[in-house]
Amino acid sequence: MASQPPQILSVRKKGRPRKVKFDQPGDEEACAHCHELSCATTLKGVPGTLMLTCDKCKTNHHPSCMEFEDPVLISKCFTYPWLCSNCKTCTKCNTADNDDKLLFCDVCDRGLHTYCNDPPLQRLPEGAWLCKLCAECQSCKTTKPGPTEWRHVVIPQKGDVGQFLATFCPSCYNDFQQDRFCPICLKVYSRDADDLAMVCCDSCDRWIHVGCDDELTEKEYQRLVEQEEPQFTCILCDPIRVTRALESTGAKEVEYKGQILITPSLK
Ligand SMILES: [Zn+2]
Ligand SMILES: [Zn+2]
Ligand SMILES: [Zn+2]
Ligand SMILES: [Zn+2]
Ligand SMILES: [Zn+2]
Ligand SMILES: [Zn+2]
Ligand SMILES: [Zn+2]
C-alpha cells in the first residue's frame, strides 16, 4: 500500500559491482547470475520469475541475484531502459570510464560519476545516494529532503513487484495519502492554499487542475463557472480519451483505491 512503503531499506555498495560472467551456453532467457529461470531467494511479494532485462545486452537478471532488496528500487528499474552492471554508463557523460567513481542511485540504479555530479563529489558518499531524477518532489519540486526522507509511492500489483508512481517530500506525501491531489499531474493541494483553479469531476469526484486535462482549458473553466449546474468529466473517466493519451505517451494505467491513475503522470 502507498501508506507503508517509503524509506530506502538497503544501501548498496558504492563503486562498480562485480561484473557478471556470461559463460553459460544454454538458456538465454535464464538469469545471468544464477542461470535459473526462477529464483528461490526472492523478496516477499516479488515473483521468483521476475527479471530485469538489460536494455543494451538483453541479458536477464533476478533482482535478488543483484542484491536488489528494496521493492521501490526494483519497481523503478522497470520505468526506464535499465542497464545491467556490465553495460552501466554515467547518465551525464554516457561513458563507463573510471568505474570506481561510478555511483548507483539507490532508488533507480542509474549510474553517475562522482565528478559528473553537480556539484562534483569529492568521494563516494556514505549511506544512501539518490540521483537528481529520484530526489525531486513530484508536487512542490523541492530537492531538499535527505536521502531517507523521500517518500516513494509504489502501487501494489497482484503477483508482481508493483508499479512505481511518484516521489514526494514528507509534507506533500502527507497530502497525497489523504487524497488531496490532482490525479493527472499528481500534485497535491492543501485545504487552505487554494492558488490554482480546480474543477471537480462529476464521475470520479476528484479535483482536477485547469490545464491538466487538455479539455479543461481556461476558456472551458470560465464557461463552467458561469453555469448553474456545471458538468465536467475528466480525461481519466473517459475511456476513449484515456486510451489515446496512454498510446501517445507510453504511460501505464494503474488502479489506486479503486480509481485510475496514470504513471508517469500525464503532466
Ligand atoms: Zn538469478
Ligand atoms: Zn547489459
Ligand atoms: Zn560521467
Ligand atoms: Zn535515481
Ligand atoms: Zn513536496
Ligand atoms: Zn493537476
Ligand atoms: Zn474523473
Structure confidence at residue 5 (pLDDT): 43
> Whose atoms come closest to the Cα of 102: which ligand?
3
The torsion defined by the Cα of 162, 167, 169 and 175, in degrees rounded to 10, comes to -60
Question: pLDDT of 164-214, one tens digit each?
Answer: 999 999 999 999 999 999 999 999 997 666 678 999 999 999 999 999 999
What is the pTM for the complete model shown? 0.86
Helix, coil or strand: residue 113: strand
208 CA from centroid of ligand 6 (Å): 5
- Architecture of the domain spanning 181-263: 2-Layer Sandwich (3.30)
- Of the options 3.40.50.300, 3.30.70.141, 3.30.40.10, 3.20.20.70, the CATH number for the domain spanning 1-134: 3.30.40.10
Lowest mean pLDDT among 104-118, 140-154, 188-202, 253-267: 188-202
Tell me how many degrees the CA angle 56-76-115 measures, rounded to the nearest 5: 70
> Whose atoms come closest to the Cα of 172: which ligand?
5
Task: Kindly give the pairing relationship between strand 60-61 and strand 252-256.
Answer: unpaired
| 102 vs 120: CA distance, rounded Å | 12
> Whose atoms come closest to the Cα of 182: which ligand?
6
Q: Is the peptide bond before 264 cis (omega within 30 degrees of 0)?
A: yes
The torsion defined by the Cα of 175, 106, 24 and 37, in degrees rounded to 10, comes to -20
> Whose atoms come closest to the Cα of 73: which ligand?
4
> Whose atoms come closest to the Cα of 34: which ligand?
1
Q: Where are the domains of the chain?
A: 1-134, 181-263
State yes or no: pLDDT of 7 exceeds 50: no
| 168 vs 82: CA distance, rounded Å | 22
Q: Which residues surround ligand 1, an ion (CB under 5 A)?
A: 31, 33-34, 39, 62, 65
Structure confidence at residue 8 (pLDDT): 44
> Whose atoms come closest to the Cα of 62: which ligand?
1
Structure confidence at residue 21 (pLDDT): 58
48 CA from centroid of ligand 1 (Å): 9
| Percent of the chain clearing pLDDT 70 (strictly above) | 88
47 CA from centroid of ligand 1 (Å): 12
More confident residue, 180 or 19: 180
Sequence-ordered strand ranges (E) for the chain: 52-53, 60-61, 102-104, 111-113, 151-155, 163-168, 198-200, 207-209, 252-256, 259-263
Question: pLDDT of 31-74, one tens digit each?
Answer: 998 899 998 877 777 889 999 999 999 999 999 999 898 889 99
Whether 59 and 32 have beta carbons less than 8 Å apart is answered as: yes
State yes or no: pLDDT of 149 exceeds 90: yes
130 CA from centroid of ligand 3 (Å): 15
Question: pLDDT of 126-135, one tens digit each?
Answer: 888 999 999 9
118 CA from centroid of ligand 4 (Å): 14
What is the average pLDDT value for the chain, to the nearest integer? 87
Structure confidence at residue 111 (pLDDT): 95
139 CA from centroid of ligand 6 (Å): 9
| 265 vs 267: CA distance, rounded Å | 5
Helices (H), 60-169: 71-77
Q: How many C-beta atoms surround the C-beta of residue 217 within 10 A?
A: 12
Measured in degrees and rounded to the nearest 5, phi and psi for residue 122 equal -75, -30
107 CA from centroid of ligand 3 (Å): 18
State yes or no: pLDDT of 104 exceeds 80: yes
Same fold, 1-134 and 181-263: yes
Q: Which residues pair with 252 in a beta bridge?
A: 263
